[in-house]
Structure 1
Amino acid sequence: MRPPHCDVCGADATSGGGGLVSFKPTTSDALWHQRAARGEIVGHPPNAAWLCDKHARVGSALAGTHTLSAGLAQIQAADAPPAPSTPVANTVAGSIEIGALERRLRDIFASVARSVGLADAPVTTADDRRWTPMDASEPPNCPFTDIFTRQATHGNRYLTLTFERAHWNPHEVARASVTLVAHGHGTDHDFRLSAATPDSGSLMVDSITTKGTVPDAVTALLIELGYAS
């Protein structure tokens, strides 16, 4: 289970009326729950989101009719500021929140796995928290990094989605990054996508870089988000 930080704004999801909200499962979500029930996999349910008090009220109303990605997108849209009265140029930096990007990559993970020859490979998920003692402070009163991974593996080939979020404390994010890496497939399929936030504490993506030839599903997502043409 991922630490209880709101998947929309990053706030504490355990205070007030916040909590874990389970959205309408997709077909792949249902398969995950079946495997989890058999004890084959563990981790954070793919259709569940931590939501703070403010966003849990909206999320709970959408949970029965919306999938996770659709529900969170609607919540984020409701939070968005009004459109400016005059057109402005679309900017690459800061156009999507890092958590939203990770969810979009998670949504296309199965498609990407198929494109690199891992359609039938088992998928595992893991959540980890790494503490960074400093200035005489020790866990749980020191900086930490939450690391969430999703990996499809077959032999020496793998596709890994990693989301890292470094915190000064439970309420203050220092920086965050997302990577999607395929390795061991040969030059035709090996690739790496990296996205990161600035060190200012903003959760908006500062840059996205790619190396190698990314699959069509990734290219389509980058075009949709305005990071490619």
Structure 2
Amino acid sequence: MTVSAVGAPTEVTSGARTRLAENFDTFLTLLTTQLKNQDPLSPMDSNQFTQQMVQMTGVEQQLLTNDLLKQLVGNTNSGISTAVSLIGKEVRAVTDTTALKGGKADWVYKLDREAEEVKVEVVDASGKTVHTKTLTGDAAKGGEHAFSWDGKDVSGQKLPDGGKYTLRVSAKDTTAAAVPSTVYVQGMVTGVEQAEGQTMLTINGGKVPWNVVSSVSLPAATASNDDTDPGDAGDPDSTSNPPPADA
């Protein structure tokens, strides 16, 4: 569907709604004037203006129906039908929120330049900080870094799977100036659904709008547990440089 094909019905519907509003305002003005000046001994027939109001209401309902149909067509042509093709693909999305799944949550953060230290905070759906950590060294260099949280709050209690959590990144250089950063979620798409007019992808157990996907690639072969970096052993929150995703 071309842009012009979508835009034309939109302009027609918008113009029709504007004219309807103008006509309805004019109709109410005339009706009010007639009621004020009618002959008390010979009042005007209420059936006429009642029928006109019913007709205008019917036109308004038709316009609303057209809007719903347009949204449905848009979802079918450029939303869910396209997003379904992403199932089973490895994607990266520009979002800082994901779900706790299998006792952990993973993000990728990108620093525009090298920082002296990076403070990461995991925040739950209510805005409460449940985990915080300060990263230095390689984790503070410019570029991309993977961050994995073990699902434990500040008291060491294991939180249940399924909750939504947001990663906040605050990085500063040696002059205490802020270093810009971007947070991503990366993983395989396992589902697609419509929610509140948006096409949502299921990635790592969390829901992500499909229009924030920045890259798509074929899934890599599942790595063996023996390939785990020994340097991360014993550290529940690990960071590393992730492999670049295909553009």
TM range (shorter): under 0.3
Whichever of the two has the greater Rg, that structure is 2
TM-score, normalising length: structure 2: 0.21
More strand by share: 2
More helix by share: 2
Higher relative contact order (CA 8 A, sep 6+): 2
